[in-house]
Amino acid sequence: MNPKVLVGSPVSDLYDYCFDEFVQSRKSLAYKNHDLFFIDNSKSNYFSERLKKTNLPFAKIEYLKNARERMIKSRNLIRKKVLEEGYDYFLNLDQDIIPPNDIIERFLQHKKKILTGVYFVYNNQYSSRQADYLIPTLWISDNNFSNKDIIDGASIRLMHPKETEQDGIVKVISCGSGCLFIHREVLEKIEFRYDPFFPYFDDNWFCRDAFYNDFKIFADLSIKCKHLINDKPWRWTDIKK
């Protein structure tokens, strides 16, 4: 029997600028045994009303001022649904990520517990510096670490854009959550979280927790996702708490 996959993510009116592409993308996923489910964490009900008109399944949560709190509450509600309703995998696709429509089939063929595709961000997305170039959200190590080792910042590096031009899968130490395929076995052990004493979002902590729970993360470099960032009217530095 084909694995059962839940596709979803936190959503909000912050991404209203790319609403139509988001809806079309999610409705065009080719894999048959999947469901969609989103968590609207917007401040108003405006975005929920837009979602209702598309027939996309969603739940609305109370607005939280802290952006990281909104993210982890939303993602953990999806995690709960995966575990309680018998899904085999959770595919988190952030609202501004447009993947190939056969992404699930391509991930499943690798038979891995955690996989990500490739998408790019501007090097200044968390700062006020002028944008210079695009970088992948993939961090790797040139050392052969075991999961019993302690990883520090000096031990890993950002993957160079040129390195993403090859095909196949590579082991990564950390990645963004924008296109993240997670087996339920991982979710049984790891809850989405953040640490208020550090400036990172939950994707960083998820990757750390995966590493120290002996789960390996792989990137399928053949899966290139469109990232709808050029028209984004805000920066994370404007809303991050």
Confidence of residue 195 (pLDDT cuts 50, 70, 90): confident
Please give the share of the chain, as a percent, with pLDDT higher than 70: 87
Specify the length of the chain in residues: 241
pLDDT in tens, 45-83: 999 999 999 999 999 999 999 999 999 999 999 999 999
What confidence tens digit (pLDDT) does each residue in 12-25 have?
999 999 999 999 99
pLDDT for res 106: 98
Asked if 151 and 168 touch (Cβ cutoff 8 Å), the reply is: no
Q: Tell the CATH topology of 5-239.
A: Spore Coat Polysaccharide Biosynthesis Protein SpsA; Chain A (3.90.550)
**∠ Cα 40 42 48 (to 5°):** 55
Q: What is the pLDDT of residue 196?
A: 80
| Average pLDDT of span 93-114 | 98
Q: Is 86 left (phi over 0), alpha (psi -120 to 50) or beta?
A: left
Q: Using pLDDT thresholds of 50, 70 and 90, give the confidence band for residue 229.
A: confident
Q: Is the dihedral of CA 24, 25, 29, 35 positive or negative?
A: negative
Cα–chain-centroid distance for residue 99? 12
Residue with tokens 């395929």: 181
The model's confidence at residue 194, banded by pLDDT at 50, 70 and 90, is confident
More confident residue, 180 or 232: 180
**Secondary structure of 36-64 in HEC code, one letter for each residue:** EEEEECCCCCHHHHHHHHHCCCEEECCCC
Q: What is the pLDDT of residue 142?
A: 77
Full-model pTM: 0.91
Residue 220's pLDDT is 98
Burial class (CB in 10 A: 0-12, 13-18, 19+), 12: buried
Where are the chain's structural domains?
5-239
List b or e across 164-183, with b for residues whose CB sees 16 or more CB atoms inside 10 angstroms. beeeebeebbbbbbbbbbbb
